[in-house]
Amino acid sequence: MDPQLLSLLVTRTMPFGKYQGHLIADLPGPYLAWFARKGFPKGELGRLLALMLELDHNGLSSLLDPLRTAPRAWPGQPPGDQPAKPSAANVSGAAAAPKRAAKP
């Protein structure tokens, strides 16, 4: 198994369809099986989908865990670009008031 292809599974996203923007490694097994029945796309994408189907079908998807970078909050989000945690000020939409110095 080509290590380069394994790393592509956790970095390439699906370019079209119901799961557009999702990592190929995160595509559900039934979707991959549908491609196997209907025919994989030509080229690299088809090879990656076929490889992911093999990994998923044989219960080996966890082999990709060490290759993943930072967890993603939504599909297509760049690694390490996590959304800010909501604070009381930005949840309500109001701007935070400036802090005042304590009186002596």
> Which distant-in-sequence residues (6+ apart) come within 8 Å of 84 by Cβ?
90
pTM for the predicted model, two decimal places: 0.65
Q: Which two tokens stand for residue 14?
A: 């699906």
pLDDT class of 41 with cuts at 50, 70, 90: very high
Once rounded to an integer, what is the mean pLDDT over residues 24-41? 97
CA atoms within 13 A on the CB side of 50: 12
Q: What is the pLDDT of residues 43-94, one digit of tens each?
A: 999 999 999 999 999 999 999 999 987 555 556 655 555 444 444 544 444 4
